[in-house]
Structure 1
C-alpha cells in the first residue's frame, strides 16, 4: 500500500475526503463545519470556516474599544481581536468570549480618578518582535497626572525592528 493510500484510509475513518488535485489535502464536511487538513512531510496545518455572520463579533469588539477608557488592562487583547474585524473566525469569537469572562470577573476594577498632586509622570516601553505573525514590535506609553492615569497608548510599530534597541527607540 502506498503512503498516500495509507494516509487516505486513516483520514477517511474520521470523515475526511481527499480531492484528486492535491494528495496532501484532506477536507472534512459536516453541516456548516468545514475543516481543511494539509499534510506535507513533517508539517501539518489545520484550519476551518469563518463565522457565518460577524455582526455580533464586530458589535462586541466595538464596545470593547469604549471600555478601554476605564480598563486599559484589556488594550492589548482588544487590539489583537480588532485585527480580525473583517473576517472573524470561531477562534476569534472564542477570544472575545474570554475577554467578556475576564470583564465579568473584574467588573469592580478599572480607572478611578481622585484628587492628587499635579506632578506629571510618563512611562514608555516596547517589546522586540512580539507579534508571532508578522514579527513587528509593540510599543506604548502612559502618562499620569499625580496618581491619575490621563493618557495611554499601545501601538504596533510600522516596520520590523532589527534589534531590541531599535524597537525601544
Structure 2
C-alpha cells in the first residue's frame, strides 16, 4: 500500500491512509474477489468451464461436481455427496461461509422439487412488485398484450410518475428470468424508459394485472432427452416509431426451456426476409454457445441442432447467401449461418406460423393465441402452489 496521489506526506513517506470505513462496491472489488475465489478452486482441483467462466467443474475418478458462482452466492451439485462435503469443508477453511443445505432459493428464484423434476418461480418477488405498485388487489387479466392502445384510456392507478415507471419496469425485467411469457411486453416497456407516455402506463398496468393473476407461474425443469431445438421469429418493422424489427428466439433441451431472448434489431430491415434472417443469426449465436456449454457437462451433440423458422425465403437465403440487390447490404457477419449449416452445427427447418413458438416474443397476440404459445413455452402453474 502507498499514499494516494495528491495526498502524499513528505514528512512521513512510509505512512499510509487508514481506512475507517470501507466503501461498498468498489470498482475492482468484484474482480479481486472472483480472482481470489477462482484461484482457491483451482488449487483444490476445479477447472473453469470453457463456455461460462462462472461455472467450475471437478471431474476425477468418475466423480463429477459442478459449481455455479454469482458473486458470493454459490450452487454446488454432483454425483458424490462425500466429495461435496469435502469441497464445502475446503471452502470453509479458506472463507467465512454458510452451508444452507439443499437449494430452495437462489438469487430470489424459488426452487421447488417435485418428484423427479424442479420448478423455478419468483412468486414472492412478483408479490413485492405488485405491493410496490399498489396493485395487489387489482383485477386479473388473462393476457398482458393489447393490440390497440388509446390515450383516452390511460391508467389512473399508477398515475404518471416516470420514476415509478422505471422502478417497476426494471423490477419486471428480473421477473422474466422465470417468466418468458412476459418478455415481449417488458421489452416494449423498457424502450420507453426515457419518456413514458400515457399508453405506456396503461400497458404497464395491464402487465401488472396479468402478473397478479399468474404470480405463481414459473418454469419446470424435467428429465428428458439431450436434444437441442430452437425457434426463431421476427416481427418486420413492428416498431411504429423507428420501423425497426423485433427478433425473438427460444431454445429447448428436451422438453425444458433453457434460453430465450427478445431484442429490437439495431438497424431497419428492408424486407421481412432480412428481418427473419437476422433473427436466425441471433438464435444461431445462442445455439453455438449452448452446445459449448453442454460439452462442459460431458454432453456431446452428434446431430445438428434443429432451428425452426416460418420464413421459407429466409431459410433459402441462409442455405445460399447469394449477393444481389436485396441482400448485398446485409452485414457480412450474418452470413456465418451458411458455414454452420455446412459444418452440421445447425439445421434450419420450416415451420407453420401457427406452430411458431417464438411468435410470443415478437408481437402482441390475441388471448387464445397467447395462452396457446405460453403453454408451448411450458410456463405453468406451480404444481405445489
Query: What's the TM-score, normalizing by structure 2?
Result: 0.30
Aligned length: 122
1:127 to 2:235 alignment: yes
Question: Could you say which residue in structure 2 is the equivalent of 1:95?
Answer: 203
Q: In the aligned structure 2, how far is the partner of 1:52 from the partner of 1:81?
A: 14
Cα distance in 2, alignment partners of residues 85 and 140 from structure 1: 21
> Residue in 2 aligned with 1:147?
255
Counterpart pick for 2:246 among 134, 138, 151: 138
Q: Which SS does the other structure have where 1:60 is aligned?
A: helix
Write the distance in 2 (CA, Å) between the matches of 1:89 and 1:131. 15
- 1:41 is matched with none
Structure 1 residue 90: Cα displacement: 3.4
CA–CA separation in structure 2 for the residues paired with 1:127 and 1:157: 10
How far residue 97 of structure 1 moved from its aligned partner, in angstroms, is 1.2
The equivalences for 1:73-88 within 5 A come to: 73-88=181-196
CA separation in 2, counterparts of 1:151 and 1:163? 27
Once the two structures are TM-superposed, the CA of residue 52 in structure 1 deviates from its matched residue by: 5.9
Q: Secondary structure at the match of 2:217?
A: coil
Shift, 1:108, TM fit: 3.5
- For the residue of structure 2 that corresponds to 1:112, the secondary structure is strand
Q: Which residue of 1 aligns with 2:226?
A: 118
Distance 1:64 1:130 in 2: 22
Q: Which whole-Å CA distance do the structure 1 matches of 2:176 and 2:266 have between them?
A: 22
2:268 corresponding residue in structure 1: 160
SS at match of 1:62: helix
Displacement of 1:109:
2.7
In structure 2, how many angstroms separate the alpha carbons of the residues matched to 1:130 and 1:84? 15
Distance of 2:264 and 2:185 partners within structure 1: 13
Give yes or no for the alignment of 1:54 onto 2:151: no
What is the alpha-carbon distance in structure 1 between the residues aligned to residue 169 and residue 207 of structure 2? 10
Q: Distance in 1 between matches of 2:273 and 2:160?
A: 43
CA distance in 2, matches of 1:138, 1:55: 26
TM-score, with normalisation over the residues of structure 1? Answer: 0.65
CA drift at 1:67: 0.9
Cα distance in 2, alignment partners of residues 64 and 96 from structure 1: 10
Residue 106 of structure 1 is matched in structure 2 by 214
Q: Contact 2:245 / 2:269 at 8 angstroms: preserved in 1?
A: yes
Aligned Cα RMSD in Å?
2.1
> Does structure 1 conserve the Cα–Cα contact (< 8 Å) formed by 2:160 and 2:198?
no
- Cα distance, 1:110 vs structure 2: 2.8
Displacement of 1:115 in angstroms is 1.8
How far does residue 131 in structure 1 lie from its aligned partner after superposition?
A: 1.5
Provide the secondary structure at the position in 1 that maps to 2:181: helix
Q: Secondary structure at the match of 2:221?
A: coil
Q: 2:165, 2:196 within 8 Å by CA — same for their partners in 1?
A: yes
List alignment gaps of at least 5 residues for structure 1: 1-45
- Which structure has the larger Rg over C-alpha atoms? 2
